[in-house]
Chain A
Amino acid sequence: MHDEPSCRRFSRRAALVRTGMGMGWLGAAGLLAAESEAASAASGPALTARPPHFAPRARAVIHLFANGGPSHLDTFDPKPVLEKYAGREIPNNLPTERRTGAALPSPFAFARHGASGLEVSELFPSVARHADRLLVVRSMHADVPNHEPSLMLMNCGDARLVRPAAGAWVTYGLGTENQNLPGFVAMCPGGYPIKGTENWRSAFLPGAFQGTYVDTRKQKVDDLVQHIRHPLLDRDTQRRQVDLTARLDRRHLEARQHDPLLEARLESLELAWRMQAEAGEAFDVSREPAHVLARYGDGVQGRQMLIARRLVERGVRYVQVWHGEGQPWDSHEEIEKNHRRLANECDRAIGALLDDLVGLGLLESTLVVWGGEFGRTPTVELPMSGTGVSEPSGRDHNHHGFTMWLAGGGVKGGTVYGATDELGFKAVEKRVHVHDLQATMLHLLGLDHTRLTYRHSGRDFRLTDVHGRVITDWLA
């Protein structure tokens, strides 16, 4: 339905591009300006907001990545029957990365929350306050029990090959609403998760769609955002300098019959000037009142959730919040101690983030997604030389079945979708593959995952490759 009007906006060259002669193009929306500078000058830069394929439910995404693989059995998928098997072999032990032994009941208590009675463990009391807003998907499954390919699958839709991240696809499809901020931000305190920048790469999409990495362990705005301030000049002095450049540029422009390319360049300098102020402000949580800061809690998780909220408030399209460098949720041992510590670090901040999104009226249009690259086994991991696991007290990776939850963005809250088997090993009811999650996320954003394509190497690529189905049961 958008085709007709947007067609008319196209230059002839854009039409060539669109029919697959230039770079790839997505089904409907406006011209991908990255293709040519002439075109971009005419129709705005690559990140200009573009209409989706159909009316969206969400306009932004916050993906809370509990990297390392949080245990669904200790958080959102209670399996009391594990008590019965405690210390015994289970009948259906499935192959995972390492050896596992007997069943390991969850050391955490579950309770029902909200009008929906959704079950959440004691690890996430603040998240549990929002039980009626959560869509808990207990039947996720992925392909292999290893971090690297599973991270790639979750983020980029392919376990091995070099493919763009979901956030890159979304900003490619929709642009972003605030040109003074990056459209896709990936925050991870202390360094990179496993697979590093590949998790937010643009791959064959133009570099403009790559996630902008922010190390949220850092506190000063200058350290958070690259080139956000002149290293030596204050704002007034720099303004005079920019004015001089602009004056020289205008003269240059006049001698060149106002080439739209040069006009765009002049505009971009002003844009950057405004961005300095706006980005500096957006990332500066110290501007929040003390009571807000207190609700999010001290520490890096509170700070990065707050930044996430401030970014989405300002029109950033896709925000990823990683728990931390490496694979923090990877509790191969001492899961009781480790999961308690990890949840304790982030629960309050996630609760506050949801509170604020509700309070600001943003949750309706912001899809919040929580989860890891997989879950963990209902069985205990056995010690093995070289793994550093000396006591059987943790759980191994589990891609056969795990839980993710979604909130806001047009999903049905207070709902449990799908189920794992009796012991929580494998998703058996209403199985949801990672590609299905991705297809549905795009759907919520108003994008048809089969039409969001990009021509590369002679073929049209998409986030979900030839897979994925939209799970309409999730829609509110």
Chain B
Amino acid sequence: MSAAIRLRGLLLATVTLAAAAASGDDREAFFESRIRPLLVEKCQGCHGETIAEAGLRLDSRRAVLAGGESGPIVVEGDAAGSRMLAAVKRSGELAMPPDDPLHPDEVATLERWITDGLPWSGPGGDAAAAPAADAEARLASALASHWAFRTPERHVAPEVSASFDPTTRAAWSAAAIDRFVAAGIAAAGLAPSPPAAPRDLVRRLHLDLTGLPPSAEEADAFCRDPGDAAYAALVERLLATPEHAEHWARKWLDLARYADTVGYAFDGQESRYPFAWTYRDWVVGALVADVPYDRFVTLQIAADLVDPPVAPADLAALGFLTVGRTFVGNEHDIIDDRIDLVTRGLMGLSVACARCHDHKYEPVTAADYYALHGIFASCRTPPELPVIAEPPPGPEADAFRTKLAELQARVPAHEAAVHVRATRDAVAHAADYLWETARPAPRGGDKRPPRLADGYEMEQLLLDRLGRKLDGCRDDHPLLGPWVALKVLTDEACTAALPDLLAVWGLDGDTMNAALRAELASARPATLRAVAEAYGRIVARAHAVAGTAEDTAELAAVREELTVPGAPLVVLPTEAMRVANREESTKHRSLQRDVTRHQADAPGGPRRAMTVADKDAPQDSHVFLRGNPGRKGDLVSRRMPALLGGAAVAQGQSGRLDLARTIVAPTNPLAPRLVVNWVWMHHFGRGLVDTPGDLGLRGAAPSHPDLLDDLARRFVDEGRFSLRWLHREIVMSRTWRQSAAIRSELAAADPDNLLYARASRRRLDWEAWRDGLLAAAGTLDPRRRGGPGVDPLALDSLAVRSLYARLDRQDVPGIMRVFDIANPDTAVHVRSRTSVPQQSLAVLNAPLVVEAARRLAERAAAADDETFVVQAWRAALARDPAAEERSAAVEWLTAEAAAAPAASAGAADFGPRQRLAQALLATAEFQFVD
């Protein structure tokens, strides 16, 4: 079957599908939109796979029909006769759900469902077996049937159709890509477009490979010799430039959801990552070196684990994992973000849904998800990020280091102060702590320990520790024995017993701590509370006299039991921030912020890599039922998703390295297809698969499946994972070099260019547009590469490419959003491409454009208008103006000079030539690439 026929089949199928959806399989839609959510939300928490109260499960049609321990709950088609309905109506003895009655609408919905005969669709339907078998069966069926789950194979490229003219036929016969594409075009009764005009082609090639337009000189040179050899040489030259690496690095950063901030930060917290840029620079460097894609990915997931060990600079690759949002410290959200990044980001497989339940569509289970969760839960952020490059020695570096040490020392000093304060408070309330172990105060809904009359709130941490200590003491314990003996008595019994006990305790031979005995003897407590107060006094005294002449062995023994590090009433320095009050926490954050700010802002510091490391003891994760960490299900061994073989991770490691190797294994069906399609998409404007981030069951089928598979296979086997090889294959193809002109027959037969019978005209993205303005203005400085990000809108950043922008995920500048930059919160394979008037508003009025126009006019300066016009055209559009353009421009300048002087202030600086320069920068020709 030819590609085009398949394509038609596909179109037909989907159009039919659309019609079916429109006319509606109402029952299925009704189940999916009304019943399934209701069952999931209101019922399955207790009647599901993991908990099946009363033996009842409501997660498959069969289970609903089977009922529970007390028999069937529904009668198909007879709502009134179904116990389930009575339960939700609360009309019988059973009332469900127990706490939160269903809304009458929901009851009515269930009623209709039963009356309709329990229609069910998708997972849990009659076709499905029991869940475990269900998952296996789904996997087997998906592996057997879904194109993207099979390892891509070579395909024989078809012969080029005899219907093409001989020149075209010869040209399109050389490369595999062209032969696959030609087959589709020919089958549709069409012919390819002619090659693009040399000036269009050279501009397209430069912009596509480097994100920058050619200079007029470069364009002229190519137009003088546009032959195949010169073209091939130009491709090689551009592929080897750092600009090429920068341009494609930005696309990769979209996928890596790169930004320079943590996202939302609490009051006092620093939101910047001081070293995210070292990851960005690493990506550029890796692309400059054409690091093979398998290693490129492996280093980004496990640079710290590969053997032989990498040079320190390569540790920066791990920023891939770490530059995401920090979700105000929620560990599980951070892990979820990383799982999504490596699965959907690198393989187009959406696994994240399985955080709460087995995936509804993909053959991915919650166990698969938590197997990956364990891998990332076994990683930690090192307390100090590793240095990957030292600053040049000198006073600046010295000053940086001194200041850093000073700022860093303040953090433990503050923690120590909190520890001292908290311990002092606890010691002062020793009696209250003891009392609480005997007579716990009622807890409120928040379960927090009680607040005392003086405003002190007891620490649960210390209460727990004291409780454990007392549990381990018998009533003959020298210090705590009396308390252990007394606290179990009622108040009356205690009061009754105390006089006798006090007498007994005073006898010789008793092992009681002498300080306690003396205190009890003098205080003669009559109540349990008074005993606690007596303890409180000796604890206070013991604490106060430590290290003084008044200290005694007995008091030292009191401290030993209660107030030395590790004892119940001492907050350890490591625990300090758990018991910190608001003020102390805020101060702690701000001290940490000072450290981060210094590293981000002060010159003379070392570069550091945003790494992760394996924990000393890697750990498996439990399934969290419905994604809730408070409801743990089975423990799942760390392993690869079943879809990718399910292999266990290596002993003693987190499993990141195994995961990386699985992703880039030559037999992995998803990763090579994903990256090949991703590169293709950026060259052509549309992927062979139109859902570049979704190769799963609900993703789009490829328009040219044989081409995609063949290219993916060759990328691995022939290209040895070289991205440069892949770029070369694509831009050397005749397909890519076609003209963008829309021939009338194409407009009718293939308006969306699904057949690639022409090139697609495209608007420059934000980075290429801004860089193009700077190139036209002549302000870009090739020496300004890398390093901490800059404000892309500041007029003192005009020397720096857009890649080097500092990106705050909480505050993406409006102009960048308007030009559709990628949302930095999630792996983005393809940016939205909207067309909104705010884009043109920016073209007309943004200070960036106005400044570029001013610089452009300066650059094109000439004594006469005629020369100015030619030079301005060459600077902005890399070509000479056509004769009629030149004369029109010169006339315009003359008329403009004669027009009434602009009224507004500053307009004098922005004279006719500056205005003309801006008019050129505002043209469609500047903003689009043919």
Residues of A participating in the B interface, judged by any CB pair closer than 8 Å: 3-4, 7, 11-13, 15-16, 18-23, 33-42, 45-47, 93-96, 99, 148, 160-162, 179-180, 182, 195-198, 202-208, 210, 212-213, 226-234, 236-238, 240-242, 244-245, 247-249, 251-253, 256-257, 259, 261-262, 264-266, 268-269, 271-273, 275-276, 382-387, 450-451, 455, 457-459, 466-467, 469-470, 472
Asked if residues B833 and A231 are in contact (CB atoms below 8 Å), the reply is no
In Å, the complex CA distance between A264 and B839 comes to 12
Q: Mark B745-771, 1 if CB is under 8 A from A, else 0.
A: 000000111100000111100000000
Show the binding face of B for A, using Cβ within 8 Å.
11, 14-15, 17-19, 21-22, 33-34, 37, 40-41, 103, 105-106, 264, 325, 327-328, 330, 333, 340, 344, 349-350, 352-353, 360-362, 444-448, 451, 455, 457, 581-586, 686, 690-691, 693-694, 696, 698-701, 740-744, 751-754, 760-763, 810-812, 814-815, 817-818, 820-821, 823, 825-826, 832-847, 850, 884-885, 888-889, 892, 896, 899-900, 902-904, 906-907, 909-910, 915-916, 918-920, 922-925, 927-928, 930
Q: Which of B742, B844, B899, B909 contacts A259 (CB 8 A)?
A: B742
Shortest C-beta distance, A172 to chain B (Å), equals: 11
B41 touches A466 (CB 8 A): yes
Q: Is there contact, CB below 8 Å, between A45 and B835?
A: yes
Tell me if B700 and A22 are in contact (CB < 8 A): yes
The answer to whether B761 touches A12, judged by C-beta atoms less than 8 angstroms apart, is no
Provide the bound-state CA to CA distance between A382 and B844, in Å: 56
For the complex of A and B, 6 pairs with smallest distance between CB atoms:
A386-B582, A458-B350, A206-B832, A272-B840, A95-B445, A13-B752
Taking CB atoms, residues of chain B closer than 8 Å to A195 are: 264
Which residues of chain B have C-beta atoms less than 8 A from A262's C-beta?
761, 924, 928
Q: Known interface pairs A257-B741, A385-B583, A386-B586. Does A18 touch B834 (Cβ–Cβ under 8 Å)? A: no
> B787 to nearest A CB, angstroms?
27
User: Which residues in B have their C-beta under 8 angstroms from that of A46?
Assistant: 834-836
Q: Point out the residues of chain A lying under 8 angstroms from B922, CB to CB.
A: 241-242, 245, 269
Q: Is the CB of A458 within 8 A of B832?
A: no
Contact residue among A13, A227, A229, A240 (Cβ-Cβ distance under 8 Å from B899): A240
Measured between beta carbons, the chain B residues less than 8 angstroms from A45 are: 834-837
Choose one: B741, B762, B810, B846; the contact of A198 (CB below 8 Å): B810
Chain B residues whose CB sits within 8 angstroms of the CB of A472 once the complex forms: 105
Q: Report whether B836 and A196 are in contact in the complex, using a CB–CB cutoff of 8 Å.
A: no
Of B34, B837, B924, the residue contacting A252 (CB under 8 A) is B924
Asked if B700 and A238 sit within 8 Å, CB to CB, the answer is: no
Q: How far is the CB of A343 from chain B (nearest CB, A)?
A: 26
- A264 interface neighbour in B444, B754, B835, Cβ under 8 Å: B835
Contact of B924 among A39, A47, A202, A253 (CB under 8 A): A253
| In the complex, residue of chain A having the shortest beta-carbon distance to the beta carbon of B837 | A271
Q: A232 to B912, alpha carbons, bound, how many Å? A: 12
Q: Which residue of A lies closest to B896 (CB)?
A: A240
B148 to chain A, nearest CB (A): 12
A268 to chain B, nearest CB (A): 5
Query: Does B927 contact A265, Cβ atoms closer than 8 Å?
Result: yes
Q: Say yes or no: B915 contacts A233, CB within 8 Å.
A: yes
A261 & B910 in contact (Cβ 8 Å cutoff): no
A256 to chain B, nearest CB (A): 7
Interface centre among A4, A248, A253 (most CB of B within 10 A): A248
Across the interface, name the chain A residue whose C-beta is closest to B327: A160
What residues on B are CB-neighbors of A240 within 8 Å? Answer: 892, 896, 899, 915
Taking a contact as CB atoms under 8 Å apart, the answer to whether B835 and A37 are in contact is yes
In the bound complex, how far is the Cα of B928 from the Cα of A16, in angstroms?
Answer: 26
Would you call B843 and A21 a contact (CB within 8 A)? no
- Assess whether A233 is in contact with B11, with CB atoms less than 8 Å apart: no
Q: What residues of chain B lie closer than 8 Å to A459, measured between beta carbons?
A: 350, 353, 360-361
Checking A7, A34, A196 against B832 with a beta-carbon cut-off of 8 angstroms, the contacting residue is: A34
Q: Flag if A231 contacts B811 (CB, 8 Å).
A: no
Closest residue on chain B to residue A209 by CB atoms: B834
A11 B918 Cβ-Cβ under 8 A: no
Complexed CA–CA distance, A204 and B823 (Å)? 7
Cβ contact within 8 Å between B833 and A36: yes
**B844–A269 contact, CB under 8 A?**
yes
CB-CB under 8 A for A230 and B360, given A36-B752, A207-B820, A245-B922: no
Tell me the complex Cα distance, A201–B858, Å.
40
| 22 A/B residue pairs, CB under 8 Å, sorted by A | A11-B751, A16-B14, A21-B14, A21-B701, A40-B834, A45-B836, A46-B834, A95-B447, A160-B327, A196-B811, A197-B811, A204-B826, A207-B820, A207-B832, A212-B814, A231-B906, A232-B850, A266-B924, A268-B839, A268-B840, A272-B843, A469-B103
How far is B885's CA from A236's CA once the two chains are assembled, in angstroms?
22
- Which of A33, A37, A161, A385 meets B762, CB within 8 Å? A37
CA distance A33 to B820 in the complex (A): 14
Q: By the criterion CB–CB under 8 Å, are A148 and B690 in contact? A: no
Distance (whole angstroms) from the CB of B887 to the closest CB of chain A: 12
Closest Cβ of chain B to A103, distance in Å, is 15
Considering the complex, give the chain B residue whose CB is closest to the CB of A27.
B21
Chain A residues, CB < 8 A from B586 = 386
Q: Considering the complex, give the chain A residue whose CB is closest to the CB of B828.
A: A204
Contacts A39-B752, A276-B844 aside, 19 further interface pairs with beta carbons under 8 A come to A12-B11, A13-B751, A16-B700, A34-B834, A37-B763, A38-B751, A197-B810, A197-B812, A203-B823, A231-B906, A232-B902, A232-B906, A233-B904, A234-B903, A234-B907, A249-B924, A251-B884, A265-B924, A275-B841
